[in-house]
Amino acid sequence: MLKCSRSKLLLLLACCMTIMTGCVEQKPLEKLGLITTAGYDLIGKEQIKGIVVVQKFDPMAKSATKVISAISKTSKGLRQAENLKSNQKLVSGQLRSVVYSRELAEKGIIQLVDTLNRDAAIGNMVYLTIADQTAEEIMKIDYSKTNINLGTYIYNLIKQNVEGEQIISPTLQEFNHNYYDIGKDPVLPILKMQGGDVVISGVGLFREDRLVDELKQSQLFFLKILVDKYKAGTLELGFKKEELQDIMLKGLVQTPLYNNIYLTIDNIRSKSKIKLIDKQNLKFKVEIKLDSRLLEMTEPLDLSKPATVKLLEKKMNKAMEKQVEDLLYHLRELDIDPIGFGNEYEVHYRGQQISKEKWRELYKKAEFDVQVKNRIEKTGVID
């Protein structure tokens, strides 16, 4: 009797599984066009041009990519128009990066970002980027001869620079967090065409969802230090020769190529601390601690004595403090807060949430006391 019941139960389960399998929508890979990268350009005042890179699978041939573009007023309208140009159903489950044109970013991208949030097939780790000019020029670069998938290329370009700590991670999740956070603004990398390739030319600074300025590569070092703990990155500092005259090696031929002395350091480890020290006058203390290696010098310096190393550290600290202060007051002038001073202020606001408008008004008067403590752990080579 027990054996009979078990047999019937197994038969019933098998029938249920068969029925359930028949109800699931079947999506053979060769019938799908997998969108790996999407781009958006502004056309006129109210229309958007969408460009997608599609990974297509043909069982009779190798995998290949195709670029499809369409014009509409909404992202859903774009998807419908793009599907009309494809013999495979376009799906977004493999979307890895999105490129917005500079013109579109300057007008605001939250509507298009919100569409990504509403698509259950798209994950939070999609990278968001800005094109230096148009998204189309980035999306239509010809990699056919090298068999490189543009979607994979852009994703890997961003990923390896995030992992190498050269840029701040620009995922959809982080953009949403910084956009909706009262005390912080988003930043996104800017892509540019250079020598037939796509490169990262800088970082776009946003006020809420609008691009208002950008930082070049040389300025990214300090932004990254202020936002995150930092274990990578290089910095070049320049000094007048008279500033380091006392620690220059005597009797050696000086390099005639430069009027100044240039030093390159790389960061072994760093941490920064932001503290509100005067709530009434809105003054913040910014402390940055660095352990670095001296990689290169354009003039020979005598670093054999601890005292001379200390003197060099003091000079470098002063130079870096000036650069950090210039950056902070530049950001304040632009009325953007990518570092999160508003978050620190809100912590001292006794648990009450302040509005974005109130913080913007307060932020205009913020003052910064910057202290940099850099310790040179190792010295490098002479150029």
Please report the pLDDT score of residue 283 as a whole number: 96
Looking at residues 228-255, what average pLDDT do you find?
A: 78
Handedness of CA 262, 331, 202, 117 (dihedral sign): positive
- Does residue 379 register a pLDDT over 70? no
* Each residue's pLDDT tens digit, 326-361: 999 999 999 999 999 998 998 887 667 788 889 999
Whole-number Å distance between alpha carbons of 184 and 15: 55
Distance set, CA 229 to CA 158, 217, 271 (Å)? 19, 18, 5
CA count, 13 A, side-chain hemisphere, 113: 29
Give the pLDDT band of residue 47 (cuts 50, 70, 90): very high
- Does residue 14 register a pLDDT over 70? no
In 3D space, the residue among 47, 211, 48, 65 whose CA is nearest the CA of residue 136 turns out to be 48
**Over the chain, what is the mean pLDDT?**
85
- Does residue 381 register a pLDDT over 50? no
CA angle 167, 168, 172 (to 5 degrees): 125
> How many Å separate Cα 39 from the centre of its chain?
17
Across the strands, what pairs with 197?
A: 194
Cα Dmax for the chain: 104
- Does residue 50 register a pLDDT over 90? yes
Please report the pLDDT score of residue 146 as a whole number: 55
Neighbouring residues of 313: CB distance < 8 A, sequence distance ≥ 6: 374, 375, 376
- Does residue 144 register a pLDDT over 80? no
Q: Which residue is it, tokens 């670069």?
A: 141
Q: Are 345 and 282 in contact (CB under 8 A)?
A: yes
Please report the pLDDT score of residue 5 as a whole number: 54
* Each residue's pLDDT tens digit, 194-238: 888 899 999 999 999 999 999 987 788 889 889 877 777 788 899
Question: Which H/E stretch holds residue 52?
Answer: strand 47-56
DSSP state letter for 335 = T
110 vs 23, residue with greater confidence: 110
Please report the pLDDT score of residue 1 as a whole number: 44
Give the pLDDT band of residue 127 (cuts 50, 70, 90): very high
Percent of the chain with pLDDT over 90: 49
Least-confidence region, from 3-17, 36-50, 162-176: 3-17
Neighbouring residues of 266: CB distance < 8 A, sequence distance ≥ 6: 232, 233, 234, 235, 292, 293, 295
Please report the pLDDT score of residue 324 as a whole number: 95
Give the pLDDT band of residue 22 (cuts 50, 70, 90): very low
- Does residue 128 register a pLDDT over 60? yes
Give the pLDDT band of residue 188 (cuts 50, 70, 90): very high
DSSP state letter for 168 = -
CA count, 13 A, side-chain hemisphere, 50: 22
